[in-house]
Structure 1
Amino acid sequence: MTQALPLSTRVLVIGAGAMGSGIAHVAARAGHTVYLYDMSAEAVARGRAGIEKDLRFLVSKAKLSEADCAATLERVLPVTNLTDARDAGLAIEAIVERLDVKQALFKQLEEALPADAILATNTSSLSITAMAAPLARPQNVAGLHFFNPAPRMALVEIVAGLATDPAIADTLYATAKAWGKVPVHAKSTPGFIVNRVARPYYAEALRVLGEQAASPATLDALLRDGARFPMGPFELMDMIGHDVNFAVTRSVYDAYFGDKRFTPSLIQQDLVLAGRLGRKSGQGFYAYGDAAAKPQPDVLPTQPAPTEVIVEGELGPAKALIPRLEAAGIPVERQYGDGQLRIGNAVLALSDGRPATIRAAAEETPNLVLFDLAFDYATTPRLAVAKADQCSDDAFDAAVSVLQAAGIAVSQLDDVAGLIALRTVVMLANEGADAVTQGVASAADVDAAMQNGTNYPKGPLAWAQHIGFARVVLVLENLGAHYGEERYRLSPWLRRQAAAV
């Protein structure tokens, strides 16, 4: 079993900004002597002061002793000349995201450090293969991608280029784990794991917004409350900055030679062109500032509770709605059927990826109302619904009353395929599955990366398994048929999993 670098190994961190100083913090707390380098002594001083501030905060919260705080700080040694760190066994660069600049730095490091020193890059997007190509010892180069802020974010992507020695990648994996992180292995491909697999979280929300199905505040609330993502996509894009988020999407799209799966959004492009970059500019999808009112999600008015609900067949992932209704005192009758709820002449069913209007016509069920995916139907406080154009207002109200009787706030979307949570989750799973198919990462590492790098409530592939691979495949096939776009092509890995059940 590969061992972590011993604590006697000195670590050189190049770049004393927020990312570099955060990495230095992590390595020093783990027990390594850390050289913190930047081109200016002032930048190094600021970086070290930032580390001290973070450590003092931990002391104030009784999460670190004064002695450990002092010892950690003593292990952070400021340097302004790379030759002062010539005995470092691991160098981690966290400088500007330019390939030529990083290549030049690694050439310097090859000359200054021991021949067996590991050269690691914290790049989030550049090719490890290209970065290492000009070097005499490209096998010593690997990605060590921390997430910001490094002391608090658990995930570290260990990224191997074409020439990376597997033993180097394994050593970095063991070292990151010894530092208290959650490491995952990834192959050097555009976006690695997280920045690639996360693209549908933004893309599907932007697509639904573009179809005028609901407001950003409503869609954010549904994904946050119903699917339990930590932030809605629009508030998250506003926080990241639309210039940054749009640039990452463009970068991944271009790197994959225009793969339609990663097509950037015209809506987001317009925000960037208008200078509406989000929080940092005071305006994005939302307005910011003391006088700005926070938009509220649209919620349907409360309807009288139903006198009886008939459950026809099995509800699959939504089966927890039944005991929830019973606990609310709603009489529930069970009958054979296709997996739906009947309230008088109204039918309420979980979406299968088709718009309600199309499905109602195909199944000759005019009074059809579809509801969205929830992370946990036993506790979800909010759900989206969509009504077929053929559905009467009375039937719609009756269907909505069932969910409201279970204590769920209901938001209506226009009749968009796959609603919002369902299409988002299956597309995240589809992208994660393609990463597995292409050898970028294992299924376990995809799930670990998305949970620890983005705080998703469940890894996308584990989520697909929970929903049922066959159901996920059906939804993706229906989305593909509806839009007729390459964007919704089905990953071979998902199709294989569905067939193996």
Structure 2
Amino acid sequence: MSALNGNAQVAVIGAGAMGAGIAQVAAQAGHPVCLYDNRPGAAALAVQGIDRQLGRLVEKGKLDATARQAISARLRPVEALEALADAQLVIEAIVENLQVKQALLQQLEALCSDSCILASNTSSLSITSLAAGLRRPERVIGMHFFNPAPLMALVEVVSGLATAPALAATLYDTATAWGKQPVHARSTPGFIVNRVARPFYAESLRLYQEGAADCASLDALMRDAGGFRMGAFELTDLIGHDVNYTVTCSVFDAFYGDFRFQPSLVQKELVDAGRLGRKSGQGFYDYSEGALRPQPAEVQSAARVECCVVEGSLGVMQPLLQRIQASGIQVTERPGKGLLRVGDATLALSDGRLASQRAREDGLRNLVLVDLALDYSKAERIAISTCPDTTREAREHAVALLRQAGLKVCLVADLPALVVLRTVTTLANEAADAVLQGVGSAADIDLAMRAGVNYPRGPLAWAEQIGIGYTLRVLDNLQRCYGETRYRPSLLLRRVHAQGGRLHD
């Protein structure tokens, strides 16, 4: 099977933001689209809203007026479910409730032809469960768009236990024809994105709870060092803590309480207080009129660095060396174990151990650990942590070196794997487990995280860039520090490392 014929009638049920967005996408792709909602007049209002959105595109020169008229003409609001009988694809985008969706699918099976594809835009419910009890469960599939559907590229094509493989191929090709970037996923809790993304929120929340740094500093590090568009606190404020917390609880419960998905008490407290983020006016940040946005904390230094010594290769931190040299600091290179020495300070990329633990175990005086950056040659900010016995003079030298190289420096508490490194390795770990369990391919999972939540790099590709062995070391050290299964390394990472292969092979 190939993509749906361009003239095939598409029906969308649910005229909220997601349903209207999906209807717009299908109409823009050339399909006649029926939009239904059980609230009287809601579908008509949604079609009017779509036309206004198209009008704004015309005003911006992104769409011509003739195309707008043609797209709007293909959208037809209907007031009765029976009007969808001739549809060849029905996509439901109604309330996220298993029983309600099951009842709707049973109605559609009785109403539509046997060749009609029944798709759900669910973000968390099992496609297998939705199809259970139908006469032909093989024609039920997930087609999970991301909000706003007209702008977000990703579509997860989710197959349940009974879904026909040919059907998944058809919807994959259809999504491609609609200008989207589809990925195949198996129906497991959270599918790809809502499962793999949990550590992005969870690790920042844990770092905050453990006093690593304030919200503004942690968010700034994720943006300015990690290359993410937003940090976890500003993003959850935007999503809404009620929504984000509910998804986390849903995934946690679906995995029988696996502590990798443990919800945060900090976030629960916000939900309990009604501080849901932007929509309520307060979350981690205050959105009331005139409220000042807190700024990230930075450490300064009165020292001036003229030279430093590099012992061995700095690994992924090597581009920092060129940046230091470009700032006019003299660099002497000699054999060693990947250390950077300046004044009395010894700098090293974190390997997941506490700074105090590593200093003791490796015999390093005045140790300053440096966090991961997406690109050390372009990063604007970096996190460091120190041992309790690191002298003030040594810290001043380390900070001066990094600041002279053009980096803003955030000092975080001595916690394992710092901020970006901890987040990236736990994201890669969850992505690896999703590959191991057949949820999706490595390529599809990396694509999903880039196209669905705008990650700067796929987590598995990032793990390969860091090194699978180094990623494993960080995770092993995190697990030893906390003594929790939350950080247990995926068997796939261990197997790939043992075999000397690649995750994308």
The TM-score bracket by the shorter chain reads: over 0.9
The equivalent of 1:241 in structure 2 is 240
- Aligned partners of 2:344 and 2:393 also within 8 Å: no
In the TM superposition, what whole-angstrom CA distance separates every residue of 1:190-219 from its partner, at most 9, and x where no partner exists? 100000000000110011111101000000
The equivalent of 1:25 in structure 2 is 24
RMSD: 0.9
The equivalent of 2:130 in structure 1 is 131
Query: Residue 464 of structure 1: CA displacement?
Result: 0.6
- Aligned partners of 2:41 and 2:79 also within 8 Å: no
SS at structure 2 position matched to 1:379: coil
User: After superposition, where does 1:352-391 map in structure 2 within 5 Å?
Assistant: 352-391=351-390
Q: Which amino acid aligns with 2:483?
A: G
Q: Which amino acid aligns with 1:29?
A: Q
SS at structure 2 position matched to 1:320: helix
Distance 1:84 1:129 in 2: 27
In the TM superposition, what whole-angstrom CA distance separates every residue of 1:445-477 from its partner, at most 9, and x where no partner exists? 100000000000000001111111111011000
Distance 1:18 1:27 in 2: 14
Query: Residue 304 of structure 1: CA displacement?
Result: 2.7
Distance 1:232 1:174 in 2: 34
User: After superposition, where does 1:224-303 map in structure 2 within 5 Å?
Assistant: 224-303=223-302
Distance 2:76 2:241 in 1: 37
The equivalent of 1:426 in structure 2 is 425
- Aligned partners of 2:351 and 2:470 also within 8 Å: yes
The equivalent of 1:15 in structure 2 is 14
User: After superposition, where does 1:407-486 map in structure 2 within 5 Å?
Assistant: 407-486=406-485
Q: Quick check: 1:53 aligned with 2:52? A: yes
TM-score w.r.t. structure 1 length? 0.99
Distance 1:116 1:154 in 2: 27
Distance 1:399 1:125 in 2: 46
In the TM superposition, what whole-angstrom CA distance separates every residue of 1:226-263 from its partner, at most 9, and x where no partner exists? 10111010011111111111111100000000001001
- Aligned partners of 1:381 and 1:409 also within 8 Å: yes
Query: Residue 8 of structure 1: CA displacement?
Result: 2.0
In the TM superposition, what whole-angstrom CA distance separates every residue of 1:371-416 from its partner, at most 9, and x where no partner exists? 1000000011100000011211111111111111100000000101
Distance 2:280 2:189 in 1: 29
* Structure 2 unmatched runs, 5+: 501-505
SS at structure 1 position matched to 2:114: coil
Q: Which amino acid aligns with 2:15?
A: A
The equivalent of 1:146 in structure 2 is 145
User: After superposition, where does 1:71-220 map in structure 2 within 5 Å?
Assistant: 71-220=70-219
The alignment of Structure 1 onto Structure 2 pairs a total of residues equal to: 500
The equivalent of 1:67 in structure 2 is 66
The equivalent of 1:487 in structure 2 is 486
Q: Which amino acid aligns with 1:463?
A: W
In the TM superposition, what whole-angstrom CA distance separates every residue of 1:273-316 from its partner, at most 9, and x where no partner exists? 11111111111111112221100000001333312110000000
Distance 1:243 1:462 in 2: 32
SS at structure 2 position matched to 1:319: helix
Distance 2:81 2:344 in 1: 76
Q: Which amino acid aligns with 2:146?
A: F
Distance 1:274 1:133 in 2: 38
Distance 2:225 2:492 in 1: 27
- Aligned partners of 1:366 and 1:388 also within 8 Å: no
Query: Residue 345 of structure 1: CA displacement?
Result: 2.6
SS at structure 1 position matched to 2:432: helix
Query: Residue 441 of structure 1: CA displacement?
Result: 0.5
Distance 2:55 2:281 in 1: 31
Distance 1:170 1:50 in 2: 32
Q: Which amino acid aligns with 2:21?
A: G
TM-score w.r.t. structure 2 length? 0.98
* Structure 1 unmatched runs, 5+: none
The equivalent of 2:497 in structure 1 is 498
Query: Residue 82 of structure 1: CA displacement?
Result: 2.0
Q: Which amino acid aligns with 2:440?
A: A
Distance 2:178 2:255 in 1: 33
Distance 1:208 1:498 in 2: 28
SS at structure 1 position matched to 2:341: strand
Query: Residue 353 of structure 1: CA displacement?
Result: 0.5
In the TM superposition, what whole-angstrom CA distance separates every residue of 1:105-133 from its partner, at most 9, and x where no partner exists? 11111111111100000000001000000
Q: Quick check: 1:35 aligned with 2:37? A: no
Query: Residue 322 of structure 1: CA displacement?
Result: 1.1
Q: Which amino acid aligns with 2:41?
A: E
Distance 1:210 1:40, change over 3 A: closer
- Aligned partners of 2:300 and 2:400 also within 8 Å: no
SS at structure 2 position matched to 1:479: helix
Percent identity at matched positions? 56
Distance 2:49 2:367 in 1: 57
- Aligned partners of 2:4 and 2:170 also within 8 Å: yes
Query: Residue 85 of structure 1: CA displacement?
Result: 2.1
- Aligned partners of 1:102 and 1:131 also within 8 Å: yes
Query: Residue 442 of structure 1: CA displacement?
Result: 0.4
Distance 2:40 2:151 in 1: 26
SS at structure 1 position matched to 2:41: helix
Distance 1:223 1:324 in 2: 20
Q: Which amino acid aligns with 1:312?
A: E
Distance 2:204 2:141 in 1: 34
The equivalent of 2:405 in structure 1 is 406
Query: Residue 351 of structure 1: CA displacement?
Result: 0.3
Is the deviation greater in 50-59 or in 443-452? 50-59
Query: Residue 498 of structure 1: CA displacement?
Result: 2.0
Distance 2:336 2:275 in 1: 50
The equivalent of 2:323 in structure 1 is 324
The equivalent of 2:503 in structure 1 is none
- Aligned partners of 1:303 and 1:400 also within 8 Å: no
- Aligned partners of 1:426 and 1:472 also within 8 Å: yes
